Amino acid sequence: MGRLLALPLRWIRPRGLDVSRLLEWAARLGYAARGLVYLGLGTIALLAAGDLTPQAKGATGVLETWAGWPMGLVLIGGVGCGLTGFAAWRAIQAVFDADHHGTSPKAWAIRAGQAISGLVYGGLALSAFELLDVFEDFGEADEAGDIQETSAAVLGAPHGDGLLILAGLVVIGFGVGNVIQGLTQDFGRRLACDKALCRWVEPLAKIGYAARGLATLPVGVFLMLAGLEARATEARSWGQALQTVEQRPFGGFVLGALAAGLIAFGLFGFVEARYRRISPPSELSI
């Protein structure tokens, strides 16, 4: 498939443009943008755990918060561009096997995850660009309303309850996969840095991936409940799910720990932006 896509890329390549270099920088900007988003997620969740802000927020909520800052639209525009590059890099990883996972069942599962990740961050990039519309009312957006409206639409489709249950299982699988990755992955292999630095930053990745996985699990559980009970109101946005965790006994401590982990994941995003080994596949080198 990669070879079939390479020929059209040769036709559209402007003379003198180093496609591989351009893709590398797009990917690095994307890792930095993803890191910034997770820093925002973790910081707001940490403030919520300390009752310093009303509630935790999801990624779209973070963008809305930035929209109210001085120069916030510039920040959102930069993040949108970065996430667009990251989505493109994820697509290349999935289609061209840029990370050389191979074609084993495990490799195809990893590449499928990369493709889904690309779609998610591509959608977040679109949300960022929508917020740049000067006619947009930043107060209208409602993550909880969005997820419940989507759930209601799915429930209205044939076998919609089963589809919601399946979506919940996929989200739970993503969360469990992140926890396993955090516990078992050798993140130093991904980085082109000296051993001392790699030893220092690898705990950021392990803690960050595990925290992201654990923070995602409640979203999947609520989606499954929405499907099992055929009630869209059971669905929760990412921020709402975290806030539900905070309302449980010792929930403030749990949310604070997850928030610290999300901040660690965000910081590791900046490490990846600088040191990650990024080798665009040969099919794209012209």
| Higher pLDDT among residues 152 and 47, named by residue | 47
Q: What's the pTM value of the predicted model, to 2 decimals?
A: 0.81
pLDDT digits (tens, 9 = 90+) for 184-217: 988 888 888 888 888 888 999 999 999 999 999 9
Residue 233 vs residues 72, 91, 131, 222, 241: alpha-carbon distances, Å: 32, 33, 26, 9, 13
In angstroms, the CA 45 to CA 245 distance is 11
Closest CA to 243 of 39, 43, 57: 57
Both structure tokens of 255:
């949310």
pLDDT digits (tens, 9 = 90+) for 48-92: 888 777 788 888 788 878 877 888 788 888 888 888 988 888 888
Look up the domain containing 8 and give its range.
2-284
**Number of domains the chain is built from:** 1
Closest CA to 255 of 207, 215, 219: 215
